[in-house]
Amino acid sequence: MTLVRAKQSLPAEFTGLYRLFLRSLSVAVLDHPGSTSRLRRIWAPTFRGAGQVIRRLQTTPKSHPERVSLERWLNAWNQRIDNTLALLVDSAQSRGLSHKITHNFAHLHWSNQRWSRYIHHKAEQIWLPNLAPDSEVYWPGEKRIKQKNTEEKVRRAKELDVQAWSLLGEVVRMAEATGGMSLGRMPKYKRTT
């Protein structure tokens, strides 16, 4: 007979902090549903990572050397989240710089999502309802001929986009380090079939 060990639940302080954070996100963008859901997607990976660290702390013995580094990481994370909550509260109370930052993060996520879809789905064939099912556009070997100049422009534009997004991510990480806060992470694009 095998016993299945039940997963320990996360501490109430952590789940309460997450709920408070979600409410603060919503209020910071004036309860706008689209912006709220986008901001939740940005900060969800941060809380998932902290939850994994807490679970590892729950299973690590008190005398284990890894425990000290996990506790140090969790204390730094708590401080960053406190500073982020202060930014969100300020964003909810005033329409100054902090409100513009949170508002622009929602737009940034939307733009990143559109860009990712464009990059990943550009080469896929799209069904065109006004064409006959046996149209030559749908032939597997048929490709439209493009000029080399146009292909080169598309390739350079893709490279520029990738460089711009990576530079923007670098700027966000520098701002996080300077301000001692967490500005979330852009979730990876998941293809839907």
Kindly write down the DSSP assignment for every residue of 81-118, as one continuous string.
HHHHHHHHHHHHH-SSHHHHHHHHHHHHHHHHHHHHHH
Report the C-alpha gap between 29 and 163 in whole angstroms.
29
pLDDT of residue 75: 95
pTM: 0.68
Place of tokens 């997450």: 18
> How much is the pLDDT for 144?
45
pLDDT of residue 57: 92
Q: How far is CA 28 from CA 57, 157, 180, in A?
A: 32, 34, 19
Contact 16/77 with Cβ under 8 angstroms? no
pLDDT tens track for 105-138: 888 888 777 777 766 665 555 667 787 777 766 6
pLDDT, one tens digit per residue, over 49-87 is 999 999 999 998 888 889 999 999 999 999 999 999 999
